[in-house]
Amino acid sequence: MTDLSLSDHAIAGKTAPPSEARAFRLPTQWLGVAPFFIFAIMFLVLPTLYLVLGAFQNDAGAFTFDNIVGIFDPPNLSNYMQCQYDSWISWVDGNCKLPSILAAYWISIKISLASSLIGAFAGLAIAIAIVRGGLPNWIRSATLTFSGVASNFAGVPLAFAFLATLGRLGLATVILNTVFGFNIYAHGFNILSFWGLTLTYVYFQIPLMVVIITPAIDGLKKEWGEAAATLGATTAQYWRMVVIPVIWPSFLGTVILLFANAFGAIATAYALTGSSLNIIPIVLYAQIRGDVLHNPHLGYAIAFGMIVITGLANVFYIWFRTRSERWLK
């Protein structure tokens, strides 16, 4: 009588004695996940590593910090044709001024931060309204279904939808102008601007927040409210001392996820503004297409910077996530 399990037999083959089975076990085990790891290393890890290493090398392949420094201090070009070709490079004082890469990072960070914060608070409000607000049940399921759709409705079509709404001839623009006599474009609004892009991004940020945070609000146990009430807490105290501390980590975590989500997005911005708004993914896009910075390694450095920012964001996300899971089982 042996106490070997059946699956061990299968691994070892029908005739192999148990001792031999042990010897052969390790490689077979790993063979099962080999395709996944080969795929991940070849098409995820190595290409990224290639760029990261390239960010610290010059043309000769020697180690350098010049590319990273170049992000903070981009070179001037004196080629007028180049200026004509790329609308995002401006001709100033007889010099071709590259837009500061740093400024592009900054606009990207601002848009991502604004859209993630607006999306997070609006999404949280909607999630609380549908879970706790005493609304009919169908509203909850309809909202969640719609959120699933809208959070995946991004990219080029989303830009089209907002051009048709808030563009110069868009329905909302026209109605505000003809019915209310309020011309938003005369008052400084432009869909091809910081706020225009932020407002567009919010369209997929809010639903994503609703989808992620609704389970967290569901996880608030009814007993906590009852316990608080028993101890004489007012509604305000219950929210301040129970609900907010419990939801806080998953809320912050989701804000960071939304941030990373907006930061890497390019299609919506590109279709909406062409290259008139210099967010960092569009600068990188132009660099990949045409080496507009005339230094391939500067492109690597931009990519490296993007990974650093989204990477940091995700480190925080994981940290908040593990903290929130303590409460919400």
Please report, as residue ranges, which positions from 118 to 157 form the binding site for other proteins (by CB under 8 A): 122, 125-126, 128-130, 132-135, 139, 143, 145-146, 148-150, 152-153, 155-157
Site for other proteins in 41-100 (CB under 8 A): 43-48, 50-51, 54
Classified as helix, coil or strand, 40 is: helix
Stretch in the footprint of other proteins (CB under 8 A) among 58-66, 92-100, 215-223, 262-270: 262-270
Closer to other proteins by CB, 97 or 165: give it: 165
Nearer to other proteins, 161 or 227 (CB): 161
The helix or strand, by DSSP H or E, that contains position 10, with its residue range, turns out to be helix 6-12
Residue 202: Cβ within 10 Å count: 22
Please report, as residue ranges, which positions from 14 to 33 form the binding site for other proteins (by CB under 8 A): 29-30, 32-33
Please tell me whether residue 162 binds other proteins under the rule CB under 8 A. yes
Q: Which is nearer to other proteins, 96 or 272 (CB)?
A: 272
Taking CB under 8 A as the rule, does residue 289 contact other proteins? Answer: yes
Asked if residue 328 lies in contact with residue 216, where contact means CB atoms within 8 angstroms, the answer is yes
Burial 142-161 (b: 16+ CB within 10 A, else e): ebeeebeebbeebeeebbee
DSSP class of residue 301? Answer: H
The smaller minimum CB distance to other proteins, of residues 89 and 268, is found at 268
Structure token digits, residue 261: 């989500």
Closest listed residue to residue 308, CA positions, set 154, 36, 108, 119: 108
How many other C-beta atoms lie within 10 A of the C-beta of residue 269?
A: 25
Residue 38's Cβ-count burial label (10 Å; 0-12, 13-18, 19+) is exposed
Closer residue to other proteins (CB): 60 or 94: 60
Nearest to 309 by CA among 252, 263, 278, 269: 263
Among 206, 208, 216, 217, binds other proteins (CB under 8 A): 206
Query: If binding is defined by CB under 8 A, does position 159 make contact with other proteins?
Result: yes
User: Does residue number 6 form part of the binding site for other proteins (CB under 8 A)?
Assistant: yes
Residue 262 as a binder of other proteins (CB under 8 A): the answer is no
247 binds other proteins per the rule CB under 8 A: no
Nearer to other proteins, 102 or 307 (CB): 307
> How many Å apart are CA 43 and CA 39, to the nearest integer?
6
Please identify, using beta-carbon distances, which residue of 96 and 309 lies nearer to other proteins. 309
Quick note: the x/- pattern for other proteins over 302-321, rule CB under 8 A, is -x--xx--xx--x-------
